[in-house]
Amino acid sequence: MHKKMGIISGKDLIEQIENKDNDEKNKSLITCERWEKCQEKTDNGDIRGRECKECSSGLDWNNFNGWQVDLNLGKEAYITGNKSPTILDENNQYLTIEPGDFALLETEEDINVPSNLMGFISVRFKYKKMGLVNISGFHVDPGYKGKLIFSVYNAGPDDIIMKKGTPVFMIFFSTLTQDLSELENDLQNDDENYIPESLKEVINGKNNYFTDKDGFKSIPLELISMIQGSSVSLAKNNNRIEKLESSIKIYGSIAGGIIIALIGTLFAQVL
């Protein structure tokens, strides 16, 4: 386990990602959707797939920045107003988030956080400056294993376009003062007086309470249900107002013409 304190960087981060010791308990911090294919391509016993150029050790090393790692946009996304999630593939690689729209976006990579670390996540500045706001959580719990799902909102004035398999998010990792697996061991020992009895009652009978967090494999239905429906924004309201104004002008002109014609007819009858 990692003993240094602070943000994991440099050699330490590379070793955590590569998992050279093939430690099944502490898997590689980051693996990608092509990870299993990389393993299949490797026939020399190196199960980490290091000979696969597409994803060396499960990570595109172009996304490695010394102390943090960029994460790519995955294949599934959901945007408010749509009836179902959008599936991105080779024939449909681009996703557009219009002003005022909410979206759920998944990462291409899986994150495997050990019990002595926690992750901090964000949207890359490239998209922040366009107005893309991360409205979901900003951390990843120790023990989490799975894809990350970002809930975002386009607060900018223009469409935001992104491409599958390109960096949209980022993550970095920090150590905890105590490995949570050690805390779980202490909870099993009645002689550990520092643990409140009420906490023991909460955890009683629950194994790996702090360190086993099943993550997402895709965007779950409950998250889609939370943001389903048409979104409302200033830009969309402005378009509606402009259409209404145009309609009023058109129908107003028609109505005016009819009124003038009626008045002319009445005068003609009087004369």
Mean model confidence pLDDT for the chain: 81
CA distances from 111 to 58, 120, 149, 200, 203 (A): 11, 12, 11, 29, 25
pLDDT band, very low/low/confident/very high, at 51 (cuts 50, 70, 90): very low
pLDDT at 240 > cutoff 80: no
- The CA distance from 125 to 132, in Å, is 9
pLDDT at 156: 94
63 vs 238, more confident:
63
**Residue written as tokens 């990389």?**
38
Better pLDDT: 260 or 135: 135
Instruction: Render pLDDT for 173-206 as a digit per residue (tens, 0 to 9).
Output: 999 999 998 888 887 776 667 888 888 788 776 7
Tell me if 111 sits within 8 A of 171, measured CB to CB: yes
**pLDDT for residue 36 is more than 90:** no
Q: Which tens digits make up the pLDDT trace of 131-166? A: 999 998 899 999 999 999 999 999 999 999 999 999
| Phi, psi of 103, rounded to the nearest 5 degrees | -150, 150
Residue 53 has pLDDT above 60, yes or no: no
Task: Identify the pLDDT of residue 248.
Answer: 72
Whole-number pLDDT of residue 153 = 96
Q: How confident is the model at residue 19 (pLDDT cuts 50, 70, 90)?
A: confident
CATH 1.20.970.10 fits 67-227, yes or no: no
Q: Across residues 27-46, what is the average pLDDT? A: 62
Query: Residues of the chain with pLDDT > 70: what percent?
Result: 77
pLDDT over 60 at 27, yes or no: yes
232 pLDDT band, cuts 50/70/90, is: low
